[in-house]
Structure 1
């Protein structure tokens, strides 16, 4: 291992180092605040040499003015401040964040103790606008030969993409988790806005609008922040009138079927300051909310663009996925509502059917009762008349004029009455069954269980149909295996089951 320290010449101190090494070798250091390289302390020479030949972003802050010396890997952190930042005081280069890093650096100079910052938010201006950026870094003291602190050595890792990526991923994951939880469209919009409000950095402003069926009106469902002026977020918006900026934009999104970017927000809607430095919202994007078929547009989500981040492709992809999750949640809620309405309609039809069965059963029972009663009386009367009058008539009229007709034989009349009676009973059983069905549907039937010799009871019930079946030339066999103990059944229900099985 080569442990030789750099000597005093420029070429020796700035050996290697890539682009920054070449740039430093080309400078006339005597014209800089640090003076000629030969006058530098050995500690500074070693620190600069290590910095230049590292592939990790490193910077040396030297002297009370904290003059900047950095390597190639640190250039992206500077942005458009490079190469002017070389050999300039830190307070001049990083004026916008000096209230943070300046305090940390001067603390190192004063105490000789290192600092550590993890994912530190710094609002830097390195690309022409105030940018949200995150860094993990440590400021370590560089001691002179005298033991005093001559400067600070920094190793820096920019973590902006990771921090913002994790934040956006958390928002998308939360939206995805909520997609199937909402039972109404209102709930879906509320949950989405609540999630948006938890990431007010990437989504400083959001409106969710839904269209009516004719797409002539857009109605504001939810918004964040809640204190947006009504003039900025009107509700509803008549899409057939072109006197409002939202109308023209919404119509453009409907016609094109794609997102539309709004510029110069302060001119359109007035000032809307955002964040710690109260930068004004400059841009907003209007994204379509598509139906589940992905063909029709059912609404819009308007999202303000974080003024501290450029609207790059990653940001656009995040916003597109955000709108997609909102669309999925709304589609899921609408599907649930439609299914609920179908279920309610079916339940109403079922109730109507049960009510109809119950009413028609009662309507049938009344005339059947009125029919059965006189039929039963007539059958009893016929039987009584036949038993009393049949033979007496023959005795009394044996020698009288043959033109006197005997009474009509009541046997055919009895047979007809019996037929009408049997069929009325059968119809009554059907009506009772229909009424039982309506009671079961309405939940008003309660079984009464009692211990029963199920074999004997079933055999007895089935034997009622034996004669009719055998008269039809069929063989009727009832097989019931003996049971060890009585069975708890509702006797009337069991009778209906056996009767239905036997008659069908």
Structure 2
């Protein structure tokens, strides 16, 4: 800058020649030039500028013209911001301004900038102001970063919190409109549902009807002239710059400045899980800011913020629609349950009435066999009625139509009567039932039928999951509540399941109950009925020790205050409780899970069938159906069936799918995993109907799948077919056993070889990426690390450590390449790219590349070769051979001289690599080229032994040979003989048949 000042002709300026400058000006300029801080000296009546190197950056393209130019002329564009402080400073008042916004014409256009600066008067000896001292700091980057950060924050705070997509779009555009200095305009297009076009959702900073803001853009045309390149942005998935605005739309004027815009961006709006963009945001680039890296970064981050804001709103909106749809489905489900439950009860009533008359003898005496069959029908009709009533109660509560008809009730007597009905079932199961219902001194207002359902469901649930011990039913006063507690000594409930037991249709997984039957709504119904009485229900349980369920209902009519009793005309049809349905079902469970052989009607050796079903009536029915032809063993769950099958292998398994302890699916898996039972024919029985259920059953490993209800003839036919097919498979398996074993052995061997080679190839490829990255990082570290004082690692050792690391990474890279080459050789994909190569130059280059390692191992090296030796070879592969041979010599003969010799020999070329190491015994000179051969006992055993093996394959592919001889004066001499290539030069592939058998195998 001093040279520039000295070179100017100051005689034509208001300051005159430099020689005539006053000493005060000379001193001020000297101080200015010596400072690194941007400083401008404004002197004299002409306000002439003299500035230093720091201020030159502020001038931009105005330098060097601004040197010696009037301050008013150079910064005329910024005068609205700096004029007043300038005039005050001339009047003797110092001005200091922070982060002042101004527009500078320093790069050919009015650029938005921010500066912190001061203007201080410079006085002469008489006190007169003769100049201004003007230090400056540009804060443009900081102020723009803060402004853009606020924009991103505001988008997240406003649009990001919107719950509706249209609302999010409006808030987004409103926020963008507040930052017009960075984003002169914004157009938001939303993709139509069919994906063929995008419609304008809204805009900011754009005049209505502007030609560059069309209402609709066809996406297939969104790359042609005259439209925004939406399709291009959709394909790239990132912000697409548009720099030809004038060519597309003519002059584009928008935002706070009058100048036409030159550039803009199209941002695709994406939502996670959706391939195509849901919309596009078009934004303008400020014509008064440079489109630099920070501006582009802001656009990229803005794209992410827009995606998050609009994506969240779209996701919430989709979730809300999904919830509304689910609510409609739930309401339809409740209506269906209510309707179908009513429809079921009519035929059930017509069935139960005549059945009970017949069993009571009102139509005359029945034969014993007929009575047994009708008893089964009666039990299952009662069970079906119980399920229908539960569904009806559930649907009424779901629909909010459940009505309690409360009346003052002696709750102790009612509870004792209902619970005691189970006593016969408990006695048959060898358990104790304790009912402790103390007098409550006052009646409780309850719906009697609802209370009976609460007690029945809790006691039957306790009995279902208790196999020994006792169940205690207690009713006590608890402050202003009556508390019913049903406590058992059963299997208990896992802690993680306690919060779910009152959920509708929830079943505790792998619970070992007396049966797997049940709808999963009993406890949920108890909770809902308790709430209808203004009460609550809770559960406590320890797994393996038992559970305790407690229901609390309040005394008095407080819970029913303000609730009008339903009129008779409004009251829903009664849903009476059949206590005998609960008791009969419990008696049926107490039959026990032990295996029970079904009586055989015909003597003689017959095929044996194992039957597994937790329903005693079903076991009895199917067992009697099969007993006329087969020996049948019936068990109550999958675990008993598996134990029975392992003790004595049956000829066929007939199993239900839904069973306690172990279900049919687990049973089939266990059988297929057992070598002795894996071929056992299995027929699964299930109440789940449909093609998908049948296919699912067969996929589980079953041989056949039968849906309940089924006809007796169909069951017998399926059993007979499976037994016949099993016998045929057994005979065929015995005939093909030996041939299959040989075939499996051969396939396993081929698969093993293929897997090994694929693994080797994949592993090598996968290793190359991190190794390459590590190598590049070490090279960059070696280039840029400059040791400094005070470091823990001494400066002189750090570069050496990096060099050692580079050597080791290079060694690892070669090892991975060797492994990859082995895989290529084994699969026949190892190819040569043959062309003319100067072998002498190649050998010199290899030695130069390995010079560092040669020096480190103390191996002086000599190259003995003609000036030039052109030959047709694969450059890369022959370089690999030379590297392997020289590296091998360094490893096994460190510290000794090493000679590389090349010479023509007849029609070929002879390449020698000699070392002065221990040499190779003659007996091992052939095997040393085998894969994974690690050399002799007195040689170093590092490495995988791949280098010499791969070298031999490369030389063989060139039509040459490689061998090892004694070197003159001791050591080993590796000799490569290559023939002269003739004819056209083409790539060659190594066929596996050309390889040495020992290397391949």
Category of TM-score, reference length = shorter chain: 0.7 to 0.9
1:438 to 395, 407, 411: 395
For the pair 1:205 / 2:185, whether they are aligned, the reply is yes
Are the aligned partners of 1:452 and 1:488 in contact in 2 as well (CA < 8 Å)? yes
Instruction: Point out the structure with the larger helix share.
Output: 1
Tell me how far apart the structure 2 counterparts of residues 90 and 315 of structure 1 sit (CA, whole Å).
30
Q: Name the residue aligned to 2:752.
A: none
Question: 1:335 Cα deviation (Å)?
Answer: 2.1
2:241 to 261, 268, 271: 261
For the pair 1:92 / 2:48, whether they are aligned, the reply is no
Are the aligned partners of 1:183 and 1:337 in contact in 2 as well (CA < 8 Å)? yes
Give secondary structure in 2 for the equivalent of 1:327.
Answer: helix
Tell me how far apart the structure 2 counterparts of residues 422 and 56 of structure 1 sit (CA, whole Å).
101
Q: Name the residue aligned to 1:167.
A: 147
For the pair 1:464 / 2:416, whether they are aligned, the reply is no
Tell me how far apart the structure 2 counterparts of residues 86 and 65 of structure 1 sit (CA, whole Å).
13
Tell me how far apart the structure 2 counterparts of residues 333 and 227 of structure 1 sit (CA, whole Å).
28
Give secondary structure in 1 for the equivalent of 2:180.
Answer: coil
1:53 to 4, 14, 34: 34
Tell me how far apart the structure 2 counterparts of residues 259 and 89 of structure 1 sit (CA, whole Å).
44
Taking a change above 3 Å as real, the CA distance of residues 79 and 296 of structure 1, as seen in their structure-2 partners, is same
Q: Deviations over 1:239-265 (max 9, x none)?
A: 234796354622333344444322343
Q: Name the residue aligned to 2:107.
A: 127
Are the aligned partners of 1:458 and 1:498 in contact in 2 as well (CA < 8 Å)? yes
Q: Name the residue aligned to 1:403.
A: none
Tell me how far apart the structure 2 counterparts of residues 221 and 132 of structure 1 sit (CA, whole Å).
31
Are the aligned partners of 2:159 and 2:171 in contact in 1 as well (CA < 8 Å)? no
Tell me how far apart the structure 2 counterparts of residues 281 and 327 of structure 1 sit (CA, whole Å).
25
Tell me how far apart the structure 1 counterparts of residues 309 and 349 of structure 2 sit (CA, whole Å).
59
Q: Name the residue aligned to 1:78.
A: 59
Q: Which 10-residue stretch deviates more, 242-251 or 262-271?
A: 242-251
Q: Name the residue aligned to 1:495.
A: 452
Q: Name the residue aligned to 1:17.
A: none
For the pair 1:152 / 2:132, whether they are aligned, the reply is yes
Tell me how far apart the structure 1 counterparts of residues 337 and 222 of structure 2 sit (CA, whole Å).
58
Tell me how far apart the structure 2 counterparts of residues 271 and 248 of structure 1 sit (CA, whole Å).
15
Alignment of 1:56-71 (within 5 A): 56-71=37-52
Are the aligned partners of 1:273 and 1:279 in contact in 2 as well (CA < 8 Å)? yes
Alignment of 1:25-424 (within 5 A): 25-109=6-90, 111-178=91-158, 180-225=160-205, 227-241=207-221, 245=225, 247=227, 249-274=229-254, 278-293=258-273, 296-365=276-345, 410=364
Alignment of 1:444-455 (within 5 A): 444-445=401-402
For structure 2, the 5+ residue unaligned runs are: 461-581, 587-1001
Give secondary structure in 2 for the equivalent of 1:477.
Answer: strand
Are the aligned partners of 2:180 and 2:256 in contact in 1 as well (CA < 8 Å)? no
Taking a change above 3 Å as real, the CA distance of residues 85 and 445 of structure 1, as seen in their structure-2 partners, is same
Taking a change above 3 Å as real, the CA distance of residues 353 and 246 of structure 1, as seen in their structure-2 partners, is farther
Taking a change above 3 Å as real, the CA distance of residues 34 and 473 of structure 1, as seen in their structure-2 partners, is closer
Q: Deviations over 1:400-449 (max 9, x none)?
A: xxxxxxxxx85669x99x98999888766554433221111112335678
- Normalised by the length of structure 1, the TM-score is 0.78
Taking a change above 3 Å as real, the CA distance of residues 293 and 495 of structure 1, as seen in their structure-2 partners, is closer
Tell me how far apart the structure 2 counterparts of residues 332 and 368 of structure 1 sit (CA, whole Å).
52
**Root-mean-square deviation (CA), in Å?**
3.6
Instruction: Count matched residues.
Output: 454
Question: 1:478 Cα deviation (Å)?
Answer: 2.1
Taking a change above 3 Å as real, the CA distance of residues 273 and 242 of structure 1, as seen in their structure-2 partners, is closer
Give secondary structure in 2 for the equivalent of 1:161.
Answer: helix
Q: Deviations over 1:29-81 (max 9, x none)?
A: 43432023444344433332322222211111112221111111111100011
Give secondary structure in 2 for the equivalent of 1:280.
Answer: coil
Q: Name the residue aligned to 2:747.
A: none
Tell me how far apart the structure 2 counterparts of residues 173 and 487 of structure 1 sit (CA, whole Å).
64
For structure 1, the 5+ residue unaligned runs are: 1-19, 384-408
Tell me how far apart the structure 1 counterparts of residues 257 and 231 of structure 2 sit (CA, whole Å).
34
Tell me how far apart the structure 2 counterparts of residues 95 and 119 of structure 1 sit (CA, whole Å).
19
Are the aligned partners of 1:201 and 1:306 in contact in 2 as well (CA < 8 Å)? yes
Are the aligned partners of 1:21 and 1:52 in contact in 2 as well (CA < 8 Å)? yes
Tell me how far apart the structure 1 counterparts of residues 31 and 441 of structure 2 sit (CA, whole Å).
98
Are the aligned partners of 1:274 and 1:307 in contact in 2 as well (CA < 8 Å)? no
- Normalised by the length of structure 2, the TM-score is 0.41
Q: Which 10-residue stretch deviates more, 125-134 or 430-439?
A: 430-439
Q: Deviations over 1:191-232 (max 9, x none)?
A: 221221111111111112232355421112221126342532
Larger RCO (CA within 8 A; separation ≥ 6): 1
Question: 1:492 Cα deviation (Å)?
Answer: 3.5
Are the aligned partners of 2:92 and 2:129 in contact in 1 as well (CA < 8 Å)? yes
Q: Deviations over 1:270-303 (max 9, x none)?
A: 4444566522212212222233258543332211
